[in-house]
Structure 1
Amino acid sequence: MNPDDILPTLLDRVAAAGGGAAYFSAQELAVWPASTLARMKEMELLVPSTPAASVVCPGCEEECAMPVEMATTAAGTLRFFVVCDRREDTAHVPVPRVQLEQWQCSPRLLADGVAKLVGLRRSLSDDDPRRLDLGVLKGTQASAHVVLHVESALSLHLAGHVLPLSDVLVWTDKGMTVERRALVRCVDNAVAGAGAKESAEKRRERLGARRKELIASGVHNFNEVLAQEEGLTTTRIKQILKTKPQKQLADAKDSVSLLGQLQRASSGEVNRQP
C-alpha cells in the first residue's frame, strides 16, 4: 500500500465504524509500509485489540470465514483451530496465533492524538462517542471549542466552521501532523450564530468537573489554571461556578412562593380566631 493512502484509509474505516472502533488484522497490516505502521503504533493511532473471533480458514482454496476454536494442550499451551464440516478431507484446521492478532483505531484515539498535537486539554470522559470535545483552542483574537464529529466522514467543528478531518491532517516521515494555523484562522473568523453550542448548565458542569480534577491532582491555583485553559479571567470562572443552575433557582422560587402562601394562610387563620 502507498504510504499516502494509509491515513485516509484509517480515517475512512473509523468513520464507517459509526462511533465504534475499526479493526485491522495482522494480515491486512502486513502490506502496510513498516515504518508508517510502526509510527502509527508509537503515536497510539493503532493499539492492540482482542484476538479475532473468526478468520478466513487456511484449510483450502475456498477461503471460508469461520469461527475460531481454542483448546489447551497437555503441555498447557493454547491451540487455535477451525472446525471444518464442509469437506471430507478436512476436520480441525490449525490457525497460527499471529493470524488472530488485530489492532484497532477509534474516534477517541484520534481525538486524543489530534488534541495532543494541537496542544489542547481533552476531557477525561465523552458522553457521546460520535461527538468528542478536543478542548478549547486559543486564536489570536478569540477562543473556541474544537469538537470531533463522527458521521459519514470525520470532521472538526469549531467557531461555526466544519472542516473535514482529512483536510487538516498530514502524514510525513515523522508521523501525523495537524494544520494548526488553519484551525486558528477558523477561531479568529467565527461564523456568527453557528457552531457547536454549550448550554450554561453544561458549561458549569464541565468547569466544575475540571476544577475537581485539578484539586484532586494537587493543583492549588486551580481557578487560575482553569481560567488560562478557557481563555477567561479568574473572576469570570468564579462567577460561572458560583451561579446557581436554572432548576435550582426555579426550585428556590417555588419554595419561597410556597412559604409565602403558608404564612398568609397561617396569618388568616390567626385573624379569624375569636
Structure 2
Amino acid sequence: MSATTAGPATVTATRRGAATWIEWDNGERNLLDLEVTRALVRVLREADEDPEAAVIVLAGSARAFCGGADLAKLKATGTAREFAAEVVGLLGLLPLLRKPVLAAVRGDALASGFSLVLLADAAVAAEDAVLGTVEVAGGGWPMIAQVPVRHLLPAKAATYNLVTGLPFTAARLAELGVLAATATADEVDARTRELAEAAARSGALAATGRRALAELSVNAGYAADLDAALAHFVAMLEPKEGAA
C-alpha cells in the first residue's frame, strides 16, 4: 500500500488482486481541495505505471464517493484558481490512462465527484447513493463539471441535471446505462472486484487499446472543452464591473 498525505486527508493506493484501489477520506462529504486533487493526480499516474496492476479503481471513502469541491476552504485559502487548474488536469488525465478505470461508488457522488464517476470506464453504485451536479441548487453553476456531463450523459439528461441541480438516483443512472450495476452499500466492493477481474483480462493490450478508445469517444473535443471551461471558471471568479 502507498499513501500520500494531503493536508488532513490521506490518499491511499492499495493492491487488491489485479487492481489498485485508490481511496481518499476528506470529511463527511469527502470533498476535494487543492492538496487532495494534486495527490489524486500523482497516485493515478503511479498506479498507471505500476507493472503489477492491470486495473485502477476509484473508491472515495466508505461514507461518500466525493461531494465535489470544498468551496469554503478554497475561498478561505485563496486557492480557487489553482484548484480549478488541478481539477481540469485530473479530469483530462483520466481518459488518457492506459489501464481500465472503474469506480466503486459507496456513497454520494456530486459535482466534480460525479465527473469522476462518469470518466470511469464502468461504475458500481450503492442503491441509496445520489449522483449528479448540484451547483445550481446552491445558486452556482458547474462550470468545469459540466464538461464530462455533456460528453458522457445522454443530452437531455445532462441538460436536466445541469440546469436544475437535481441529482439522479443510482437506479435512474442504471436505466440510462451510465452505471454498470447498483448494489447494497456492503456489496459495492465485491461487485466492483468482479468487474476488475473481467477488465484485467486484456492485460498489456489495454495500454494501447484504452488510448485508442479515448480518441474514438470522450476525447473528441473533450480537452478543448475543458480548457474553455477553465477560462469560464476564472471569469466567474472575477468581480463584476461596478461591484464594490
Give the TM-score, by structure 2 length.
0.27
Q: Which has the larger radius of gyration?
A: 1
Kindly indicate whether structure 1 or structure 2 has the higher relative contact order, using CA contacts under 8 Å at least 6 residues apart.
Answer: 2
TM-score by length of 1: 0.24
More helix by share: 2
